[in-house]
A and B are shown apart, each in its own frame.
Chain A
């Protein structure tokens, strides 16, 4: 049984999603149904994580054909961790988004949940598949499910979704061209096979372009600065139940995919060729960080502020991956985990704020502390994390990134990281100032305490405190999960 865990981690949410679309639209029933199945999916992923820890690498041959013939799944310790992270974020997102179902989903609930589960399955597939073309299919399912989940929010979500569709499809097509260029030169699609072949070839134009197209495609999916245009609006106008799931995972999985393209496919050749690429990519990342942070500074809508922060965070990880230094890679991957959790908290806080004060503009935040202390506390926790205060995980990931950048002499990246921390300080100062020190007393009589807001605030706070655990245990986590997969 245990050798089937890896396939079950993908198939289980998929099957549940397909069955969910046949369920009757009864809210309580569906809530319990979804919760139970996501909990079970969590157990499966956790089992996979334990298995990867004991066996270091789990492989699975689909339909019984050995790898180059059939499709192969492969889990390293890190992808085991990501797999569990996906299930866990999905469970929390499910619980956090449940309150918004009534207003935003209505009678379409079974179909909404079906897409939710399909998205989880596609994310799992993205993280576990070891076949370059299968990854494209997974990329497309996750995008299609995301389009549906964002667009049903209505209003401005439609135009945002359309932009997302155009840019997402172009990104996926670039990825497909990259895979095609690799296929015409090597004749295989299996990632391990590709790595083996590429290790001994002369590095010619077709390979450079293959790498280039794969990277451009993934940059579009990651929403790094000049290619970020789709992200802020899409995430801002998405229904809350969607953004809680999509925002923490979508761009991070693109980062993970880029890591795999760089080191699993091109691992053998990239070391000799990375310097010229690195020069450009780290510069791009530094610009991306600064641009994302300044975009965020200009916003007044809490959700949009956080959506723009995602653009900045993508820059951190991009830069870390291309630093040409193992510490940079470790930092980038640790930041990936930390950022997924932090973004989850951010978007939970958005829902909690909306429940507690009835709006999410900066103006609404006035007196949040009095109205929902737990939500305000969660906001502080995640602010500390994003600014990079020890002992939060954000501090350790940034510290690792900065040591990596200094070791490889990329001072512009260091400057961008420090400036971004400063920018985050300003952003969260503006938010927290209003939340804790309102300029005028709010009208107490008009306002009733929201129980849901408090519950969500408590949930956000719990996960936020998990960031401290992540920070205190950062070295253990890096040793256990990240250093084994980063080539030294």
Chain B
């Protein structure tokens, strides 16, 4: 019996999503918000990846024996579903691109206000 390769992984995905959501919305520190956002995105990636899993004799979506003679008679049940994997490659790259832009904005915010705490920045804006 395996926990990762079972429906239990949905619970895990939901827990990670909740942690990420809490971090992204509830934290005051801007970097912490971003870390929450990263966790949020990895949770979604986990969800998609779990869609592609198949019980039984299935294995990773790289055809066996691809180097040699042409492969014949490929059964769909013997390989995991590659589509969610393709989609998630895109999502990972998008996630890191977003993080990069957000970090650039954070650097500018720090240069402008000298702090990374959102409430302190808001105070400084209100006082100016």
Contact = CB atoms under 8 A, between A and B. Distances in A.
Interface of A: 133, 136-137, 140, 143-144, 147-148, 151, 154-156, 158-159, 161-162, 165-166, 169-170, 173, 176-177, 180, 183-184, 189
A170 B24 contact: yes
B120 to A, nearest CB: 11
Contacts of B101: 144, 147-148, 151, 165
B102 A165 contact: yes
Contact of A162 (B25, B30, B40): B30
B125 A159 contact: yes
A52 to B, nearest CB: 29
A397 B9 CA distance: 49
Interface stretch (B54-62, B64-72, B105-113): B105-113
What 5 A-B pairs have minimum CB-CB distances, sorted nearest first? Answer: A158-B109, A165-B102, A158-B108, A140-B94, A184-B51
B63 interface: no
Nearest to B36: A166
Nearest to B48: A180
Given A156-B125, A165-B98, A176 B44 contact: yes
A176 B105 contact: no
8 contacts: A140-B94, A140-B98, A148-B101, A158-B109, A173-B40, A180-B44, A189-B83, A189-B87
Interface string B33-63: 1000100110010011001000000000000
Given A165-B101, A183-B48, 8 more contacts: A133-B90, A140-B94, A140-B97, A151-B104, A170-B24, A170-B40, A183-B51, A189-B87
Contacts of B21: 170
Interface of B: 21, 24-25, 30, 33, 37, 40-41, 44, 47-48, 51, 83-84, 87, 90-91, 94, 97-98, 101-102, 104-106, 108-109, 112, 121-122, 125
A379 B17 CA distance: 47
Given A144-B97, A170-B40, A176-B44, A151 B87 contact: no
Nearest to A148: B101
Given A137-B94, A166-B24, A183-B84, A158 B47 contact: no
Most buried by A among B30, B83, B102, B121: B102
Contacts of A144: 97-98, 101
Contacts of B51: 180, 183-184
A155 B51 CA distance: 44
A177 B44 contact: yes
Given A161-B105, A162-B106, A183-B84, A177 B47 contact: yes
A173 B108 CA distance: 25
A169 B37 contact: yes
Given A137-B90, A137-B94, A183-B51, A158 B44 contact: no
Identify which of B25, B44, B101 gathers the most chain A CB atoms within 10 Å of its CB.
B101
Contact of B87 (A133, A148, A166): A133
B96 to A, nearest CB: 11
A151 B44 contact: no
A486 B108 CA distance: 46
Contacts of B37: 166, 169-170
Contacts of B108: 151, 154, 158
A166 B99 CA distance: 10
B20 to A, nearest CB: 9
B121 A159 contact: yes
B47 A147 contact: no
Nearest to A155: B112
A170 to B, nearest CB: 6
Contact of B98 (A169, A176, A177, A189): A169
Contacts of A155: 112
B103 to A, nearest CB: 10
B63 to A, nearest CB: 18
B93 to A, nearest CB: 10
Contact of A173 (B41, B84, B102, B104): B41
Contacts of A156: 125
A353 to B, nearest CB: 24
- Among B37, B51, B105, B112, max chain A CB count under 10 A is at B105
A119 to B, nearest CB: 14
Contacts of A173: 40-41, 44
A156 B98 CA distance: 20
Nearest to B121: A159
A345 B95 CA distance: 35
A153 to B, nearest CB: 11
A136 B101 CA distance: 18
Contacts of B44: 173, 176-177, 180
A2 B94 CA distance: 33
